[in-house]
Amino acid sequence: MKTKKIELIVSPPEAHYVGDGFRVHNFIPGAYHLDMQRMNPFILMDYNSKFYFPPSETPRGVGVHPHRGFETVTIAYHGKVAHHDSTGNSGVIGEGDVQWMTAASGILHKEYHEKSFSQAGGIFQMVQLWVNLPAVSKMSPPKYQGIVNSAINKYLLPENSGVIEVIAGNYKDVKGAASTFTPVHLLNAKLNKGGKAEFSFPDNYTTALLVIEGAVKINESEIVPTDHFVLFENEGEDFTVEASENAVVLVLSGKPIHEPISAQGPFVMNTRKELVEAFEDFNHGKFGFLED
């Protein structure tokens, strides 16, 4: 098998706030050439690197906003997020948990720091990833997968190297907890110092990783520090990740969706006409109702 080489290592872009509760580095679509087409099916990645929020009686967050045409995946590392949507779903995403929301034909959503976390304050660290949907699925009914950490299947690496949490797709013979519309692999690699993991994905898949904690060595050569993003070339299949110190790495790989992208704000469709329809449907209340 041929080694999958690094195309780009991206340092964290300057942080900005989404609402008042999420201080994020926007990697996708962002600097360099990490645009939606290049990164498809991953069309947005906001990373709230480790950040201390002081206590607040009023939970910080993002008020009611719409989505259509894709899925949002929220992965919690530190802190807790409460959420509600216009289909009646609500819940709390705790540390180690994942919320996989299929907006598809349209949904209203709000998310904010969970009340007890907000009152106590603390370290907050999360990733929100947007996964594109193919044209045939963009107008399917919204759905929701709330995945607690205990429901995430895990692969124990040999020689006390660590563990791979399989959120979606598979790692070796372990299958992911989430169902997806197109082939997507999403893995949390939690590696002990000196621990090493091998990964293999099809050469044409969009493959990347984000170093959440610690520092790692890729393919026994490139050192990548905390909060940095790595994009791999769409050639080769195999790569290795070795922890220079205790590390957590989010690994993502997905089959590209070779369709046009027309995106604006919270809507990601295939054509300008569909985008206009999305705004019209939202303005006419077709996404349901959700109190702010």
Q: What is the pLDDT of residue 196?
A: 97
What share of the chain in percent tops pLDDT 90? 90
Taking the CA atoms of 11, 17, 23 and 29 in sequence, report the sign of the dihedral they define: negative
- Quick one: how many helices (H) and strands (E) in the chain? 3, 26
Q: Does an H or E element contain 279, and which?
A: helix 272-283
pLDDT band per the 50, 70, 90 thresholds, residue 177: very high
CA distance 254 to 207: 7
Cα dihedral angle (201, 206, 212, 213), rounded to 10 degrees?
Answer: 40
Residue 48 has pLDDT above 70, yes or no: yes
Please report the pLDDT score of residue 288 as a whole number.
78
The mean pLDDT of 7-21, rounded to a whole number, is 95
Residue 31, pLDDT > 70, answer no
Between residues 30 and 240, which one has the greater pLDDT?
240
> Would you state the pLDDT for residue 45?
97
Average pLDDT over residues 248-277: 96
> What domains sit in the chain, N to C, each tagged with a CATH number?
6-254 (2.60.120.10)
Burial of 272 (0-12, 13-18, 19+ CB in 10 A): exposed
How confident is the model at residue 84, as a pLDDT?
A: 86
Task: Report the pLDDT averaged over residues 251-257.
Answer: 98
The pLDDT-based confidence of 33 (bands split at 50, 70, 90) is confident
**Statement: residue 20 has pLDDT above 80:** yes
Rounded Cα distance, 184 and 102, in Å:
14
